[in-house]
Structures are given as C-alpha cells and as structure tokens.
C-alpha cells in the first residue's frame, strides 16, 4: 500500500471536526442505542418462547407404553357410579369422559395436555381430583389428591382397564409367540422348566409328550385322564403305558418363567417313572393353556340363541365382551351394566368366573339376567371364524359376537 493511499485513507477518517471527546460521546450514544435494541429483541424472543411453550402439548420422554384408551366404573358419593373413559394421545394431549349414573343426561367431556413424572400421569387441569394416575398391569390406577393409592374395599374400582387395541402389541411377547406356534401344532397345553431343561406338550385328544435333558430324555403316552381337585384349583393329567407313567399336575398360581421373565398363570409339576424304575423323577416349571390369540379383542353380541339383537333395545348399546389374554380377565357390558370377571380356556372350551356388575336399573333387565346366566352357568364351547366369535353352553344356548375396533 503506497503512502498516498495511506494518507487519503487517514484523511477520510480524521474529519476536521474530529476530537477525542466528540468521538467518545458518539460511540457512547451508539453503544446505548445498540444495548436498547438488544434488550428489545431479547424481550420479543422471550415472549415468543413463552407463548410457544404455553401452546405446545406437554410431551414426556416416558410416554412409551402409556398412550391409548382406558376405561373404568369409578365409585361415586351420591350416585351408583361414574362411567369414566380416558384417552392419552401421542402428542401429549388427553380427553376424558365422565357419565354420572342416574344423574347425568349426557357425558361430561374434558380435554387438555398431560405430563408424566416417573410412573405417574398428571392431567394438567385446575380441578384437584381425577388428575393423578399410576401405571398398573391392567392399565392405569387413579390416585388420590396426594398421589397415593386409594385404600379400602373399593380400591379395585379405581383401576382403569386398557382397551383391547393393545392386542397387536402382545403378539411381540415370547409367551404369545410360543402360544401361536403351539396352537398351529394342535397343542392344548404346554409347560417348560429349567435346571434341568424340560418340556411337556398335551393334545387333549391325542397324546402327552415329555422331553428333557436328563437320563429320561423322552416319553410319549395317550392324552391322559383328567382329574380336578374338589377343594383347590388343581388339575392332574395321568397316563400309564407299558414303558412308564407320566403325571402332569397343574396348579393355578402365578409362575415366573426364568428364561423370558414373563409372568405365567399356572405352576406345573411333572412326575415321570419308567416301567423299570421304583421311584418317580420330578420336574417343576410353568404351564400355559393354549388360547387362540385372536380372542384378545372387543366383541359385540349380535345374536342371542339365533335371534338378532336390536341396539335400540338396550340403554347403552349392544352387550359386549373384551378379553385380556395377558391376565385372563374379561370386561364388558350387558347393554346396561358394566361387568368384569375372569375366564379360563382349555382346548375349545371357555369358563367364565362369576361376573361382578354395576347395579343400574334398565328397561331390559330380563335379557341381562339371561345373558349373564348363559355366560356363567357352566363351561361353553367357543370357536372363531372370520371376525365372529361363537359361544355355546351346555343347554344349547348360542351367543354370536362380532369383532369390533
């Protein structure tokens, strides 16, 4: 850079009116203006952020497995009960419906956002009650205002069952995958154990088959005689052949499969003795009655004893059943009252426990009594075909259900 250019450059900057004091004042005023603009910009950005946070749904990183629909029949201080439904959506919003039996003309519907803190779901609303829920094996459990489990005789009434839309997810469990495989092979009951590893398959019509990694590697017998204990939920399958004796004892009670870690509803003891031996060798493990996994859904009753049903004849729609295969529970409606109970499937037969129901009075109570009697009066044959569920009891009464979403 030459001297002439440098001189011109400095002449352009060093204006005749320039002094050190004037330059300091000019920069001071300029700095104040810049700071004022920065503060204004910061205020605007903060307002935008606050408004954005206010309108965004509250989404937690622990939503996995929570989103879905839940329902229950809650206790009520001045009415028979509250039909409650709650939907938790993936975007962090919720909607709830409350119908006060004998008080409401229509359901009360609310919506908003929710957050998750650990195992607790919190509905973001001003009301103190009905806003805290904890994870539960059946779905969710409503907590009191202090986030504690409601104690007392009615505690189970605060459990909200998850609707059967989760059936597809259950197909990913090891137990259900194995159950589907066994069903395809025609097996009605199977049991497994570890240390040492062993297994039993029973086809109620054809055979019992035992295998193990011991000196008793395998034994095949006829299906075996079934004996049930009178004073306990215990069933024994006994078979004896020329080669030996096989006894499979099934006890109802939670059992943990040490391989998969999944809870199973039956404990099993297998006693094996070859014809040449004096003593039995015993094995213990967990067992499963094979159920058609398609049963795990919501079913609406369309025909009773070959007669079509009319929805308008029922106060709350057609009767329905909702099966939960993971814990052998059934939920449903008589078309008037809600009901819940247990069920057990063995082969093509299904048995329902006595149903617990709400106690509303409806115009069509005679049908409700017939419906409940047909379900719980004994063991029913069941079959599934093309979205239809057929139940038939020992008296020949037939119930036809249609799958619904």
Residue pLDDT, tens place only, 334-363: 998 888 888 989 888 999 988 888 888 888
Q: How confident is the model at residue 61 (pLDDT cuts 50, 70, 90)?
A: very low
Residue pLDDT, tens place only, 305-325: 999 999 889 988 899 998 887
| pLDDT at 39 (0 to 100) | 63
Mean pLDDT, rounded, for 93-119: 86
**Minimum mean pLDDT range among 29-38, 203-212, 373-382:** 29-38
CA distance 365 to 344: 27
CA distance 300 to 387: 11
The residues, ordered by sequence, that sit 6+ positions from 314 with a Cβ below 8 Å of its Cβ are: 335, 336, 362, 364, 367
Q: Of residues 259 and 151, which shows the higher confidence score?
A: 151
Q: Is the pLDDT of residue 20 over 60?
A: no
Place of tokens 């308008």: 312
Residue pLDDT, tens place only, 188-218: 999 999 888 999 999 999 999 999 998 888 9
| pLDDT at 338 (0 to 100) | 82
Cα-based distances in Å from 362 to 25, 310, 338, 366: 89, 15, 12, 9
Q: Which two tokens stand for residue 99?
A: 């119908």
SS3 314: coil
- Would you say 173 and 158 are in contact if contact means Cβ atoms under 8 Å apart? no
Q: Is the pLDDT of residue 245 over 50?
A: yes
The residues, ordered by sequence, that sit 6+ positions from 114 with a Cβ below 8 Å of its Cβ are: 58, 88, 92, 93, 94, 121, 122, 123, 124
Q: Is the pLDDT of residue 172 over 70?
A: no
Smallest CA-to-CA distance from 293 within 399, 173, 378, 375 is with: 173
CA distance 17 to 40: 33
What residue ranges in 194-335 does DSSP mark as E strands?
A: 198-203, 207-212, 218-221, 225-228, 234-240, 244-256, 263-274, 281-289, 298-304, 307-308, 320-324, 329-333
| pLDDT at 258 (0 to 100) | 60
Element (H, E) at 368: helix 365-376
Smallest CA-to-CA distance from 163 within 281, 324, 365 is with: 324
CA distance 163 to 299: 12
**Minimum mean pLDDT range among 101-105, 166-170, 246-250, 384-388:** 166-170
Q: Is the pLDDT of residue 71 over 70?
A: yes
| pLDDT at 157 (0 to 100) | 86
Q: Which two tokens stand for residue 280?
A: 């039995």
Q: What is the mean pLDDT of the chain?
A: 80
pTM of the model: 0.56
SS3 64: coil
Domains in the chain, CATH or no CATH each: 68-162 (2.40.128.640), 187-289 (no CATH), 293-404 (2.40.128.270)
Element (H, E) at 205: none
The residues, ordered by sequence, that sit 6+ positions from 221 with a Cβ below 8 Å of its Cβ are: 207, 208, 239, 240, 241, 246
Q: Which two tokens stand for residue 118?
A: 């650990």
Residue pLDDT, tens place only, 82-93: 888 898 988 899
- Would you say 233 and 252 are in contact if contact means Cβ atoms under 8 Å apart? yes
The residues, ordered by sequence, that sit 6+ positions from 7 with a Cβ below 8 Å of its Cβ are: none
- The total number of residues shown for the chain amounts to 405
């Amino acid at each position: 850079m030459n001297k002439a250019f440098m001189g011109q450059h400095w002449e352009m900057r060093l204006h005749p009116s320039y002094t050190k004091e004037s330059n300091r004042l000019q920069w001071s005023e300029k700095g104040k203006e810049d700071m004022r603009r920065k503060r204004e910009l910061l205020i605007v950005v903060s307002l935008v952020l606050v408004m954005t946070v206010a309108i965004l749904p509250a989404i937690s990183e622990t939503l996995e497995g929570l989103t879905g629909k839940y329902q229950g029949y809650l206790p009520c201080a001045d009415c028979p009960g509250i039909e409650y439904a709650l939907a938790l959506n993936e975007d962090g919003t919720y909607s709830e419906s409350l119908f006060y039996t004998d008080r409401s003309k229509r359901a009360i519907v609310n919506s908003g956002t929710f957050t998750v803190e650990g195992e607790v779901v919190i509905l973001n609303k001003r009301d103190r009650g009905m806003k805290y829920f904890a994870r539960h094996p059946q779905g969710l459990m409503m907590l009191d205002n202090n986030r504690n489990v409601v104690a007392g005789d009615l505690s189970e009434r605060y459990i909200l069952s998850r609707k059967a839309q989760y059936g597809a997810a259950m197909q990913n469990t090891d137990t259900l995958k194995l159950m589907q495989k066994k069903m395809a092979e025609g097996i009605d009951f199977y049991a497994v154990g570890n240390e040492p590893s062993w297994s039993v398959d029973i086809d109620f019509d054809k055979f019992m088959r035992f295998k193990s990694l011991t000196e008793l590697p395998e034994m095949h017998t006829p299906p075996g005689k079934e004996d049930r204990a009178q004073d306990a939920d215990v069933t024994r399958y006994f078979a004896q052949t020329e080669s030996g004796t096989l006894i499979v004892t099934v006890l109802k009670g939670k059992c943990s499969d040490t391989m998969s870690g999944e809870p199973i509803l039956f404990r099993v003891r297998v006693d094996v003795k070859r014809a040449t031996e004096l003593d039995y060798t015993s094995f213990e493990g967990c067992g499963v009655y094979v159920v058609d996994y398609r049963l795990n859904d919501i079913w609406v009753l369309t025909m009773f004893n070959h007669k079509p049903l009319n929805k308008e004849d029922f106060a709350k729609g057609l009767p329905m059943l909702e099966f939960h295969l993971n814990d052998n529970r059934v939920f449903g409606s008589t078309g008037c009252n809600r009901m819940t109970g247990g069920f057990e499937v063995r082969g093509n037969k299904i048995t329902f426990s006595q149903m617990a129901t709400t106690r509303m009075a409806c115009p069509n109570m005679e049908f409700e009594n017939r419906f409940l009697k047909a379900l719980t009066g004994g063991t029913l044959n069941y079959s599934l075909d093309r979205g239809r569920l057929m139940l038939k009891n020992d008296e020949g009464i037939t119930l036809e259900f249609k799958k619904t979403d």
